[in-house]
């Protein structure tokens, strides 16, 4: 009898240990609010637009992430992340089940290797240097960097784009430095380069200071062009304030080689623990006599709890080449070179 009791006890302890070494977490985010923009082009001329918009500050999502301890400092990891529209319940990312992320990989003392649909290093790292992510501004601060007025052809990817069929490696942090490389397979028979992408990154962090440099190359970014992007960004925390900024340069190889260089600089300030203010100025310079564009964004964010906040965003955009568009994805061009946007919203994380 004693032998049976000991055996059962050992089995229970082993099972408990095995389960303790593995974990699966359900997580998500929901964002909803009302957005106003003026000077919107209509069939009758122009007018204001008042919209219910979800996923403006951050995209609505739910996901599963997990890890399994394989021993010897090695872990298996996975992420499955779905994007959706809170306002309609529709799937995001073109109707894909796990359109935001879907990957599996290994983590060890040598770094992290992941395979699947995943964000490039610009989307992974440069949020820390951009107004769109360092505040609740979201889509109201992504329009100019994503070149929304010009049809997104020179998107600088700072807001985070997904790469299909990607193999991605990130090193451990060594002396404050981290580097990474990623290759997205085009999966086109007879041509390794078609529809493929390459991405490299190096970052540095030391106390209140962080910075990163990145390069991205995309074959067949448009039907007739490849694209190249160079990006650099930095942030510095001073007491209750954080200063941040980034510079990106994106160019296409086809036609008249369109190019856009975008500057995004701002600051956030914690007025007190639950109330945060932020402001930024964005400037974009283009070739081919398309002039420049600029935008000013201010935000106020109040935390109702650690997981729920309410916020307000106001922005003014000016574009010398196109009808100004201050809201990415759900925005519409202005009937003039100026447009204003205002949003109030609520965001909840779980």
Asked whether the beta carbons of 172 and 106 are under 8 A apart, the reply is no
CA pseudo-torsion sign 217, 296, 333, 319: negative
In a domain? residue 17? no
User: What three-state secondary structure class fits 161?
Assistant: coil
**Residue 317: closest CA among 330, 334, 299, 300:** 334
Q: Across all residues in the chain, what is the average pLDDT? A: 93
**Residue 347: closest CA among 296, 315, 313, 316:** 313
CATH number of 318's domain: 2.40.160.10
**Residue 184: closest CA among 243, 122, 246:** 122
Alpha-carbon distance values, 91 to 27, 30, 95, 250 (Å): 17, 14, 5, 30
In a domain? residue 16? no
Global pTM value: 0.90
In this prediction, residues 136-159 reach a mean pLDDT of: 95
d(CA 335, CA 38): 9
pLDDT at 8 over 70: no
In a domain? residue 4? no
Q: Which of 1-15, 107-121, 221-235, 288-302 has the lowest mean pLDDT?
A: 1-15
pLDDT at 238 over 90: yes
The pair of three-digit structure tokens given for residue 159, joined into one six-digit string: 């807001």
Percentage, residues of the chain above pLDDT 70: 94
In a domain? residue 6? no
In a domain? residue 191? yes
Note the pLDDT tens digit of each residue in 13-69. 444 444 448 999 999 999 999 999 999 988 877 899 999 999 999 999 999 999 999
Tally of domains in the chain: 1
**Nearby residues of 114 by Cβ (< 8 Å), 6 or more positions away:** 77, 103, 104, 105, 106, 166, 167, 168
In this prediction, residues 218-227 reach a mean pLDDT of: 94
Choose between 1 and 127: higher pLDDT: 127
In a domain? residue 273? yes
Asked whether the beta carbons of 325 and 293 are under 8 A apart, the reply is no
Asked whether the beta carbons of 224 and 214 are under 8 A apart, the reply is no
For residues 242, 121, 348 and 138, what is the CA-based torsion angle, rounded to 10 degrees?
Answer: 70
In a domain? residue 37? yes
Which pLDDT score is estimated for 10?
Answer: 41
> By residue range, what is the domain housing residue 275?
23-349
Which pLDDT score is estimated for 70?
Answer: 97
Which pLDDT score is estimated for 12?
Answer: 43
pLDDT at 81 over 80: yes
In a domain? residue 1? no
347 strand-pairing partners:
31, 309
User: What three-state secondary structure class fits 209?
Assistant: strand
How sure is the predictor about 97, in pLDDT bands with cuts at 50, 70 and 90?
very high
Q: Which of 37-46, 134-143, 240-249 has the lowest mean pLDDT?
A: 37-46
pLDDT at 160 over 90: no
Asked whether the beta carbons of 315 and 140 are under 8 A apart, the reply is yes
Which pLDDT score is estimated for 40?
Answer: 94
**Residue 230: closest CA among 147, 150, 122:** 122
pLDDT at 223 over 50: yes
Which pLDDT score is estimated for 5?
Answer: 41
Choose between 11 and 253: higher pLDDT: 253
pLDDT at 131 over 70: yes
């Amino acid at each position: 009898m004693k032998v049976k009791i000991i055996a059962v006890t050992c089995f229970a302890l082993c099972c408990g240990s095995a389960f303790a070494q593995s974990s699966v977490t359900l997580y998500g985010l929901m964002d909803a609010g009302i957005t106003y923009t003026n000077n919107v082009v209509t069939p009758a001329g122009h007018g204001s637009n008042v919209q219910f918009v979800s996923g403006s500050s951050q995209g609505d999502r739910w996901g599963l992430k997990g890890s399994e301890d394989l021993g010897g400092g090695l872990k298996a990891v996975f992420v499955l992340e779905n994007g959706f529209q809170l306002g309609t319940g529709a799937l995001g990312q073109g109707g894909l089940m796990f359109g935001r992320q879907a990957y599996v990989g290994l983590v060890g003392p040598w770094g992290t290797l992941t395979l699947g649909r995943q964000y490039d290093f610009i989307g992974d790292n440069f949020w820390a240097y951009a107004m769109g992510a360092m505040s609740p501004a979201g889509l109201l601060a992504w329009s100019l960097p994503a070149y929304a007025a010009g049809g997104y052809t020179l998107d600088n990817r700072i807001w985070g784009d997904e790469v299909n069929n990607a193999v991605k490696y990130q090193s451990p942090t060594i002396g404050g430095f981290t580097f990474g490389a990623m290759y997205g397979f085009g999966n086109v028979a007879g041509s390794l380069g078609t529809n493929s992408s390459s991405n490299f990154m190096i970052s540095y962090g030391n106390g209140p200071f962080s910075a990163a440099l990145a390069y991205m190359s995309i074959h067949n970014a448009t039907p007739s062009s490849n694209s190249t992007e160079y990006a650099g960004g930095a942030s510095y925390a001073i007491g209750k304030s954080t200063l941040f900024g980034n510079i990106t340069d994106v160019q296409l190889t086809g036609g008249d080689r369109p190019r856009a260089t975008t500057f995004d600089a701002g600051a956030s300030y914690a007025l007190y623990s639950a109330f945060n203010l932020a402001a930024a100025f964005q400037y974009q310079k283009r070739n081919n006599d398309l002039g420049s564009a600029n935008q000013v964004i201010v935000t106020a964010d109040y935390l109702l709890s650690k997981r729920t906040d309410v916020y307000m965003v106001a922005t003014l955009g000016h574009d010398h080449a196109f009808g100004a568009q201050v809201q990415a994805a759900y925005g519409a061009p202005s009937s003039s070179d100026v447009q204003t946007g205002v949003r109030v919203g609520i965001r909840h994380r779980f």
